[in-house]
Each structure stands twice: as C-alpha cells, then as structure tokens.
Amino acid sequence: MKTLLMSLIIMTMNFQMPKLPYAENALEPVISKQTIEFHYGKHLQNYVNTLNTLVEGTEFAGKDLEYVVVNCPEGPMYNNAGQVLNHTLYFLQFNPKPKHNEPQGKLAEAINRDFGSFEKFKEEFNTASTSLFGSGWAWLSVDKAGKLQITKETNGGNPIRKGLKPLLGFDVWEHSYYLDYQNRRADHIKALWSIIDWDVVEGRL
C-alpha cells in the first residue's frame, strides 16, 4: 500500500481531499460534471470533514488513512475512513483519454491467469457490481500471494480490511450514477470501462 495514496495529502490529524487529475467535465458523458460536483465535491468532502472531526483526540489521530481503515472499530469512524479511502482510489483511477482500453503488462498477465481472459474478468466484475444489494462497492484486489480476487463490499467497506490490496473499485451507491443513469446501474457500470486508466491500476499492483 506504499504508493496507493500518493495523491492524498495526509498531515497530522488532517485528512484532505485528493486532487482530481482531470477537469470536472472531462469524464463526460460517462460521468457528468454535475455528478462530479456532487459526488466528489460534496459527498467526499463531507466524508473528509467528518473523519477529521472523529479522529481528533483519539488514538487514531495522526495515523495514516490505511491504518485507520484497518484498525478502527466498526462505526462512524470506520464508515467515513473507508469512504475517504474508497473514493480516493475511485476518482484517481479515471482518465478521459486512457492510453489503453484494457490492462497491459503484469496486470494483464495476472488477469488472464486468474480469470481466463480480460472479457471473463469484466463479466465477473460486472456481475459483482450489478448484483450487490443496496449500497456498496465492487473491488478487484490482490492477496499477499499475488492472486487477484473480486469482492463485494457493503456500504463503505474496503478489502484492505481483509488483508487484500485494492486495485480497482466501482462505486454502486446510487449517488455515484443516479443523476446520469437514474436506476440503470448496469449501464453505468458498462460505461465506466471506457475511462479506466489501466496504468494507474497496474501501478497499484
């Protein structure tokens, strides 16, 4: 996890917003400027603000974000820390003009090894994303042995809590897509593949 959050500035007792590497309207039509304004600008900002308040004066003050997510008890602090981590990974994995439309290098090799092909991986990931009941996340992660896994996490859950390293995450909370797709979660999931920056995802491997 050493380089997972290079774009998240962490100071003592002060978690801050990750800086978007693209303009707010750059991901259109997949993700609209309005959705970015609400999802990133309001939802994530609220998680960051709330987390800063919750860690103040606790044993988690001054700890890095991954430490808080892994070690804090379930409840408000965990929910907000998980969502700050989730959304940081989420927003930084996109690129309006990615260099590749599918994984390359070691990531491609690992996907072919563990899922059979990129298309089979996409099918499994789409199923995980669309079949998760209620709010949550679908993740591609790697375990300590180097094997890739797809997991479904409810609410603000992150696979780091299970000893896995998250590589790619799809947010299936309604606020991530409802302004653009209404109740058509599957269409939203299908569209996301066109803006994944596979170099970023592989860098997390």
> What is the pTM (predicted TM-score) of this model?
0.90
> Looking at domain 31-92, does it have CATH number 3.40.190.10?
no
188 labelled ligand-binding: no
pLDDT score for 4: 52
One-letter amino acid at 182 equals Q
pLDDT digits (tens, 9 = 90+) for 15-40: 999 999 999 999 999 999 999 999 99
180 labelled ligand-binding: no
- What residue segments make up the domains of the chain, in order of their start? 31-92, 105-204
| Average pLDDT of the chain to the nearest whole number | 92
Q: Indicate the SS3 state at residue 89.
A: helix
175 labelled ligand-binding: yes
Identify the CATH assignment for 105-204 out of 3.80.30.20, 3.30.1360.120, 3.55.40.20, 3.40.50.720: 3.55.40.20
Cα torsion 20, 24, 26, 29: sign: positive
Per-residue pLDDT of the chain (205 residues; tens, 9 = 90+): 444 554 444 434 479 999 999 999 999 999 999 999 999 999 999 999 999 999 998 999 989 999 999 999 999 999 999 999 999 999 999 999 999 999 999 999 999 999 999 999 999 999 999 999 889 999 999 999 999 999 999 999 999 999 999 999 999 998 888 888 899 999 999 999 999 999 999 999 9
171 labelled ligand-binding: yes
